[in-house]
Amino acid sequence: MSASRLTKGGRIDRSRKVTFSWDGKTFEGFAGDTLASALMASGEQVLGRSFKYHRPRGIMSAGVEESGAIVTLGKGDRVEPNAKATMQELFDGLSASGQNAWPNVRCDVGAVLGLFGRFFSAGFYYKTFMGLPPFEWGRGTGIWMQYEKLIRKAAGMGEASREADPDSYDHVHAFCDMLVVGSGPAGLNAALTAAQQGKDVILVEQDFELGGDLLNQSDPAVETQRAELIDALQSAGVRIMTRTTTFGLYDYGTAGLLERVTDHVTAPSQDAPRQRFWTVRAGATVLATGALERTIAFTNNDRPGVMTAAAARTYLNRYGVLPGQNIVLCTNNDSAYVSASELAAAGAKVTVVDLRTDVGADQLGAMQTAGVAVKTGLVPLKALGGKTVSGVQLAREAGTGWAAAETLSCDLLLVSGGWSPVVNLLSHRGAKPAWDADLACFLPASCSENVVMAGSATGHWQAADCAASGIAAAKVAMGEDAQTPTLGGWDTPIKPVYEVRLPGSKTKSFVDPQHDVTCDDVRLAHQEGFVSVEHLKRYTTLGMATDQGKMGNVIGLALMAEAMGKDIPAVGTTRFRPPYTPIAIGALAGRNVGTHFKVMRRTPLHDWNLRHGATMTDAGLWHRPWYFARKGETINDAYIREATTVRETLGICDVSSLGKIAVQGPDASEFLNRVYTNAFAKLAVGKARYGIMLRDDGMVMDDGTTWRLSENDFLMTTTTTGAGRVMVFLEELLQTRWPDLKVHICSVSDQWAGVSIAGPQTRDVIAACMEDPDTVSADNLPFMGVKKIRLKGGIDGLIARISFSGELAYEIYVPSDYGEPMMDLLWSETEPRGGCLYGLEALGALRIEKGHVTGAELDGRVTIDDAGLGKMASTKKSFIGSTLRQRPELLREDRPQLVGIFPKDRSQTFNGGALLCKHGDNIGFGEGWVTACTHSPALGHWIGLGYIAGGHEAWQGKSVTATDPVRQGDVEVEIVSPHMFDPKGERMHG
């Protein structure tokens, strides 16, 4: 192929030179070029290496179906492999390189693999699982683990960057009356028809210019027509999206679009996303997605310099590049003739080779006028040449097969084997395309949804028919009647041909060049029993991955049909799947990455905590203070100091993240009485009560305190991570089981900033912060008492005397915006007394000492009895779970029960998650497990909580091993009561 840039013609802007690099060398093109057209104009011929055999590949097409010029774009953290050079708009600074080759695509050491091609047939990779013959006959895949690495290294495509993606991506939702996909003559006319009837229309085009095949025409009148249509669209208010691919169609008129925002920009704004992922919901959809020209399978049909006929016309008329000087154009249909005459007019020597012998006289006359030689009754048999095509050996029909014929020299071999309508998007909706024998292609089936196809995507081959088809499609989509033009449009019918080979010959004729799938691979798959097209696809990789059947689908099916002795409709086609073209993972993720992967919930005290030295940790979606390290302290130093301080003086802990649910209404107490295991019907106003709620199956669901604020108003608290689950369950109960109860619930978790203040000096500190210090006296606020309060500074709030740490403790809630002022106030009284701020780690140590349960213990497998709280299950009332908790299996005395755990050697430690086993019997699942552990400042050694069969009384005097084989090994432990510190609760009630 000896391509050259023409001095005039095309849509490129010759006044705007564009500099780019290819494999490290600098090249120039023009604004309006693609990477492929610029490289072609620069004389580059080998742009890729094939997937398996490392065969040299050049430009095969001018669009999304490209299977040869597959390259890597960008550098460093912006590397994007497997990009199609035919789709990449050229811009200043674009960097592209070859892939799957060493040292480069022009001279690739890996090409030696081609010599062993017969060993890499269909299913080669799967066959390696069976072992390397003869060494592993019948013994499996021992060596495979080693040579798998070699196979993976030798095969494949480009390499993605291992660095984080530096770009941002947006998700966007859009709505419209009609979505039109494709802006060829059909799409433009469909959009205009709908818009002129007042419809809100979105027109989507994957190219950077509107027009589809109108862009590839040489007739100036076509450009005038295109410009007028675009003006009319804009006047009619059509929302036009170029550089946007509709990659999938989904339920209820939903389409997925990918908009490339800055992929063509040299220095994009750092605020602009690279791409936008659109979800469009349309009342109707018109698919004017065009058709792709097919090639023919013949020997070496993948050589650089073998290209589709229409692509050559695109390079000539759109990009001003004459792709060859001595061109042979092999066809079986009329569409290639216009390409031939235009190429000849541009100065090339052109020979048309047509399989058909009945080409019309007008056609032949036009060729003669254009100086194009025409040979009929011939097909390409073999492309000649190495890294570029130098000629073509032809064949003619001989009985039911082929016989070798003459050889023609050429530097460009164009092929047109017919056209395949792009039915992929409709296929996403489950509509199976139907084979049309006259047009030799699959045509779209009717769809039960309001999705209408138009243009060449429905088998119209003439521009005027496509335009009329677009108008009709829009009308049909709007519920009107419309006549569509007759299908086809060629003077002489197509004569189908899919493969040309001599009888018995073994050659490399490619069906799907992108995956190095040959005709022999298809036949081998059939021979090995893969008779379903879906199995064929998976076994050979034909039409998989980014190709999605664009290039070789029909040829593969034809070969399969031939092998099975059936016709193509009987074989059927595979189902095309989204995405139509590849989508960057970043676009799927959008902005939901890094810290935005999940919403981070911040307490009203978040910033205050950070300013006071907090290290945060995750608690569900919340960020909570983990510990407050002082200078030089480790986490262990910090939490032990904090827990010690709470026991000795006092500490403040942010508990704002606890779930808080307002329960209101005349039946609120009855509702709570049914939800909790213990009695709530008679809870007095101004009192709080600890409650446990079960699931229907009798297992513990959540726990917390509920405060009665007035006769009809309660404030329920839940665990931090259980809040959502509890809220949903309560709402379900009210809406489906007890709709007669006059109760409303509402999450007020975000409304309140809450702290727990614990320790012997707590009452003094709180009193000092109150407008009325007497509010929190022991008489005025006894244990489990609740009050409305006013702190100094006029901060109104609620206080409850509740303890999770086992110390004298209170929880104070104020409206969230007053959280920081409250903390300033409390801290000003706490710090001078030697008090501290404490985080979850210290809170954990304090509660483990007391044997108080959290989510680690209430893990969904635990009954209220297992947790040692069975006395809280009322026997005088019914409550959620009260029946099923009585199942015999849940009442067995040897069920694992909550216990405390000490190391026998008090200097030792053990891990959470360790199994508790009978000493000397460290097998299986053991007798129990450790749920939590900590250093106990109060006891001076390591302690833990866990479950063990029968509870602590069953293990008195018996040796138990905490076994942790993958981390720490075995530690001998004692099983004790879970109430390891202040078991009578004297400090809490003090």
Partner 1 sequence: MANPVSPLHPLRQTGQFGNKSAPGVTLQEIPNFGMLQFATWGDTFAETSAEAARVAGCDTAPNPGQFNSGDNGILMRVEPLKWWLISSEGTEVPQSDLPPEHGAVLDMRQSRCWLRIGGERAETLLNHFLPLDLSPAVFGAGTVASTAFHHVGVTLWRDDAGYNLLLPRSSAVSLWELMSESARQYGLVEI
* Residue 601 binding partner 1, by CB under 8 A: yes
Residue 846, amino acid: L
Give the residue with the Cβ less far from partner 1, 790 or 989.
790
Exactly one of 171, 349, 687, 895 binds partner 1 (CB under 8 A); which one? 171
CB of 710 to partner 1, least distance (A): 9
Q: Of the listed pieces 40-48, 165-173, 211-219, 245-253, which binds partner 1 according to CB under 8 A?
A: 165-173
With the C-alpha atoms ordered 544, 548, 551, 552, is the resulting torsion angle positive or negative? positive
As beta bridge partners, residue 499 has 297
Q: Classify strands 928-936 and 321-322 as parallel, antiparallel or unpaired.
A: unpaired
| Sheet with 80-84, side-by-side order of all strands | 25-31, 13-22, 94-97, 70-73, 80-84
DSSP category for residue 785: B
Which of 27, 2, 22, 40 has its CA nearest to residue 311?
40
391 binds partner 1 (CB under 8 A): no
Closest to partner 1 by CB, 261 vs 340, is 261
**How many whole angstroms separate alpha carbon 932 and alpha carbon 840?**
13
Rounded to the nearest whole angstrom, what is the least distance from the CB of residue 742 to partner 1 in the complex? 5
- Exposure string over 481-496, b if 16+ CB within 10 A, otherwise e: ebebbeebbeebebbb
Closer to partner 1 at the Cβ: 165 or 209?
165
Phi-psi domain of 627 (left: phi exceeds 0; alpha: psi -120 through 50; beta: other): beta
Q: Is 813 in the site for partner 1 (CB under 8 A)?
A: no
Please give the structure tokens belonging to residue 646.
């709470």
Contact pick of 89, 167, 820, 865 for partner 1 (by CB under 8 A)? 820
Q: How many CA atoms lie within 13 A of 807 on its CB side?
A: 27
Q: β-strand 809-815 against 622-628: which pairing, if any?
A: unpaired
Residue 102's alpha-carbon distances to 99, 106, 385, 827, in angstroms, are: 8, 9, 22, 66
SS (H, E, C) 116-161: HHHHCCCCHHHHHHHCCCCCCCCCCCCCHHHHHHHHHHHCCCCCCC
Rounded to a whole number of angstroms, the minimum distance from the CB of residue 657 to partner 1 is 8
Q: Which residues inside 821-850 make contact with partner 1, applying CB under 8 A?
A: 821-822, 825
The CB-of-602 to partner 1 minimum distance in angstroms stands at: 5
603 binds partner 1 per the rule CB under 8 A: yes
Per CB under 8 A, the segment of 148-156, 164-172, 287-295, 313-321 that binds partner 1 is 164-172
Closer Cβ to partner 1, 558 or 605, answer by number: 605
Tell whether residue 604 is a contact of partner 1 (CB under 8 A).
Answer: yes
Q: Is 273 in the site for partner 1 (CB under 8 A)?
A: yes
Stretch that binds partner 1, among 36-44, 405-413, 598-606, 929-937 (CB under 8 A): 598-606
Of 173 and 876, CB closest to partner 1: 173
Nearest distance in Å: CB 251, partner 1? 14
Contact pick of 92, 165, 170, 982 for partner 1 (by CB under 8 A):
170
Give the whole-angstrom CA distance, residue 695 versus residue 894.
22
Tokens of 477: 């989509």
Q: Is 593 in the site for partner 1 (CB under 8 A)?
A: no
Residue in 121, 161, 168, 507 binding partner 1, rule: CB under 8 A: 168
The nearest distance, CB 814 to partner 1, in angstroms, is 9
CB of 704 to partner 1, least distance (A): 18
Residues 190-249 interacting with partner 1 (rule: CB under 8 A): 200
Using rule CB under 8 A, residue 436 touches partner 1: no
Q: Is 728 an interacting residue with respect to partner 1 (CB under 8 A)?
A: no
Residue with smaller CB distance to partner 1, 525 or 799:
799
CB of 267 to partner 1, least distance (A): 14
- Chain centre distance of CA 895: 43
| Min dist. Cβ of residue 161 to partner 1 (A) | 22
Q: How far is the CB of 594 from partner 1 (least distance, A)?
A: 11
Measured CA to CA, the distance from residue 311 to residue 609 in angstroms comes to: 64
- Tell me the CA distances in angstroms from 498 to 362, 501, 557, 641, one per residue in order: 27, 10, 10, 80
Beta carbon nearer to partner 1, 9 or 815: 815
Which CB atom, from 122 or from 791, has the smaller least distance to partner 1? 791
The separation between the first and the last C-alpha atoms of the chain, rounded to the nearest angstrom, is 95
> Site size for partner 1, by CB under 8 A?
56
- The answer for 237, left when phi > 0, alpha when psi is -120 to 50, beta otherwise, is left
Q: Which stretch binds partner 1 (CB under 8 A): 140-148, 511-519, 809-817, 971-979?
A: 809-817
Closest separation between CB of residue 711 and partner 1, Å? 8
Write the CB contacts of 178 (distance below 8 Å, at least 6 apart in sequence): 190, 191, 194, 199, 200, 201, 202, 282, 283, 284, 285, 286, 474, 477, 478
Question: Does 599 participate in binding partner 1 (rule CB under 8 A)?
Answer: yes
Q: Which residues contact 836 (CB under 8 A, 6 or more apart)?
A: 628, 641, 642, 645, 646, 649, 650, 651, 652, 830
In this chain, which of 13, 77, 228, 817 binds partner 1, going by CB under 8 A? 817
Name the strands in the sheet holding 713-718, side by side, starting at the edge strand that comes first in the sequence. Answer: 688-694, 700-710, 713-718, 659-664, 744-747
Is residue 259 a contact residue for partner 1 (CB under 8 A)? no
The interaxial angle of helices 336-345 and 361-370, nearest 10 deg, is 20
Query: Does the protein bind partner 1 through residue 506 (CB under 8 A)?
Result: no
600 binds partner 1 (CB under 8 A): yes
Neighbours of 189 (CB within 10 A): 27
Residues numbered 629 to 668 that lie near partner 1 (CB under 8 A) are: 657, 662, 664-666
Give how far the C-alpha of residue 365 lies from the chain's centroid of Cα atoms, to the nearest Å. 56
Contact call for residue 607 and partner 1 (CB under 8 A)? yes
Q: Determine how β-strand 434-436 pairs with β-strand 373-376.
A: unpaired
| Other C-beta atoms lying within 10 Å of the C-beta of residue 818 | 19
> How near is the Cβ of 794 to partner 1 at its closest, in Å?
5
- DSSP 8-state symbol, 883: T
CB-nearer residue toward partner 1: 288 or 766:
766
Q: Which residues fall within 8 angstroms of residue 58, CB to CB, at 6 or more apart?
A: 1, 45, 46, 47, 48, 68, 69, 303, 304, 305, 306, 307, 388
Which of 184, 444, 819, 946 binds partner 1 (CB under 8 A)? It is 819
748 binds partner 1 (CB under 8 A): yes
596 near partner 1 (CB under 8 A)? yes
| Position among 15, 26, 146, 269 found at the interface with partner 1 (CB under 8 A) | 269
Q: How many Cβ atoms are within 10 Å of 956's Cβ, its own excluded?
A: 9
Minimum distance from CB of 107 to partner 1 (Å)?
Answer: 44
Instruction: Give the shortest CB-83-to-partner 1 separation in angstroms.
Output: 24
Burial class of residue 112 in the structure, from the number of CB atoms within 10 Å of its CB (0-12 exposed, 13-18 middle, 19+ buried):
exposed
CB of 930 to partner 1, least distance (A): 32
961 binds partner 1 (CB under 8 A): no
Q: What is the closest distance, in whole angstroms, from the C-beta atom of residue 749 to partner 1 in the complex? A: 7
Instruction: Give me the 696-715 binding string for partner 1, x by CB under 8 A, dash otherwise.
Output: ---------------xxx--
Token pair listed for 103: 């040292």
Binding residue (CB under 8 A) for partner 1 from 91, 461, 622, 671? 622
Shortest CB 261 distance to partner 1, Å: 8
Q: Please, which of residues 280-319 interact with partner 1 by CB under 8 A?
A: 281
Catalog residues that contact partner 1 under the rule CB under 8 A.
168, 170-175, 200, 269, 271-273, 279, 281, 591-592, 595-596, 598-604, 606-607, 622, 657, 662, 664-666, 711-713, 742, 744, 746, 748-751, 791, 793-795, 815-822, 825
